[in-house]
Structure formats: structure tokens, C-alpha cells
Amino acid sequence: MNDAENSDARPYTRREASLYVVATPIGNMGDLSLRARAVLEQVDRIAAEDTRNTARMLDALGIKKPLMAHHAHNERESAQGVLACLQRGESVALVSDAGTPAVSDPGAVVVRCVAEAGFSVVPVPGASSVLAVVAASGLVEGAFTFRGFLPAKGKSRLDELKKWLACAEPQVVFEAPHRVMQLVNDLESLDMGRRDMCAGRELTKQFETFYRGKGEQVFEQVRLDANAERGEWAWVIGGNPVADSDIATEQASANLDTWLGLLLAELPLKTAVAVVVKATGMAKNTVYNRALALKDAGQ
């Protein structure tokens, strides 16, 4: 089968009574994919996080479609409305104001409802603030954790942030413009001044800005930015280097117990210790003390 015959290579292949989860641009309209545009042109109606914002986008594209509101405050009710449309044989596109629905935006409830009812859910991927800031940060070489938005205020905000920052992998967080200075203060209070970071504002837009470096440098740059509170922020915060060593220490301790447990069942304590020290290069006192503890515990 050549590309022309492969439906996956075409911008859009209509499936009746399907929900299309469509990623829209996070700033630059040029990031709307050909497939996303074709879907928006051909579905029967569009469920939008903010119908006014979506109407402006559709006007710019020359697309006229019925809109229905689907946002955080009516998600369960509007999910039933979307399902009713599908049951009538209509196709529906689900969009948020920017990026992908259900990624720090409403959408998961309607997707789950539609899937459980047996209708097709078709993702139409595109622009992503998460991937944009990760790609531009230079801080992610493997795994990372996307956290989304912090709690707005209170002790839970600082507790959540502290828990996230204890992880070994880089953390990706979003912050609203009016709370970015609070984020800076929170990170500073948690002694993150030496942690590698990248803070991005207004991603893909005209005034896209990135600040990179150690935390103390990034904090200063954000505070000096006269426009800091005029655009959404996405941050990548480098992983906790201590966490990696803690994991390695825990693994080494588990391995030591395994080997000592096997050897002590067959050999005298001193002989078992000597074998482990020779095989691993671990300090003799460390191995001996652990062997004594296991023996005293009856292992």
C-alpha cells in the first residue's frame, strides 16, 4: 500500500459519530496542523473551553461551525451533551483555548464518557506547551514529570512543590502570570537557587522569552522582567541530584542484604564478609556491621 492509499497519511478521514480531541495553537496560528484544520472544517459541531476564543480562531480560518461550551465548571453536564450529539450520528471536535484538551485543561471527563459509551475517540495532536518548554530547556535527556499548575495558595501549594522537587527527574510546571512571582519566592524559600532551570513565557508568541541557568540567575531575570505578569509561564526545573544517590544507596543496601543472607546460610560470618568485600569492594566495617545485624535478627 502506498502513501496515497494509506488513510493515515491523509489530513483527515471522517469517521461517523466520533469525538476528535483536537490540539490548537498555543500562540502561533501557524502551528495548527493541516489535519486539525480539516477536522474542524468537517465535524458537525465543536465543543470549546471558551466559545468566544474559539469563535475568533474559526473566523481567522474562515470556518463556520455550531459551538457548544465545555469548560471546567460544566464538564459533566456538557459531556452528556456531547454524547447526545454522537448518539444522533454527529461528529464533534473537542478543543481548549490553547494546546491539547485534558492536559491541564478540561476534557478527560467527556473523553471517558464517550469511550465508555462505545464511540470512537480520535486524538489530533499538535502544539504543546509541555513539549515546547522541554525541547527548549536543554535539561531533559530522558524521563521528566509533567505536573501542570500548582495549587493557587496555602500550605498545600508549598507542600506539593517540595514533594515534586525531591524527585530525581526534571519537573515541568505551569504558572499563571499573576502568580509567577509567588513561584519565584516559593522556589527560593525551598533553597532551589543552585538547581538548573528554564523558565519560558509566551511560548510561540511574538514576545516568547526563555530564562535559563541556575535558580538564583533565573529568579533575578524573572524579577527584572517588566512583562513577567503579562503571559503564561512554563518551567522546567532540573531533577534532584541527591535523589539519584539515595536510590543507588537503597539498591546497594538491598543487594548487600541479599548476598549476605545467602552466604551466611552456608559460611561462617567472617568468611561471608570477606567474600562480599572482595566481590564488591565495599568497606569491610560496613559489610561486617550489616552481617552482624542480619545474624542477630535471625536471618
What 263-270 contacts at long range (C-beta under 8 Å, 24+ apart), as own/partner pairs, is: 264/291, 264/294, 264/295, 264/299, 269/295
Fold of the domain built from segment(s) 7-127? Cobalt-precorrin-4 Transmethylase; domain 1 (3.40.1010)
Percent of all residues in the chain with a pLDDT value above 70, rounded to a whole number: 90
pLDDT in tens, 167-204: 999 999 999 999 999 999 999 999 999 999 999 999 99
Q: Once rounded to an integer, what is the mean pLDDT over residues 208-225?
A: 98
Cell of 174: 505551569
Higher pLDDT: 154 or 1? It is 154
The CATH H-level superfamily of 130-239 is Tetrapyrrole methylase, C-terminal domain (3.30.950.10)
Q: At residue 5, does pLDDT exceed 50?
A: no
- Those residues with Cβ within 8 angstroms of residue 266's Cβ, 6 or more apart along the chain or in another chain: 272
pLDDT in tens, 225-247: 999 999 999 999 999 987 655 55
Q: Which residues of 184-193 are buried (b: 16+ CB within 10 A; e: fewer)?
A: bebbeeeebe
DSSP output for 238-254:
---HHHHHHHHHHHHHH
Q: Where are the domains of the chain?
A: 7-127, 130-239, 242-296
Record the pTM. Answer: 0.75
Q: At residue 1, does pLDDT exceed 50?
A: no
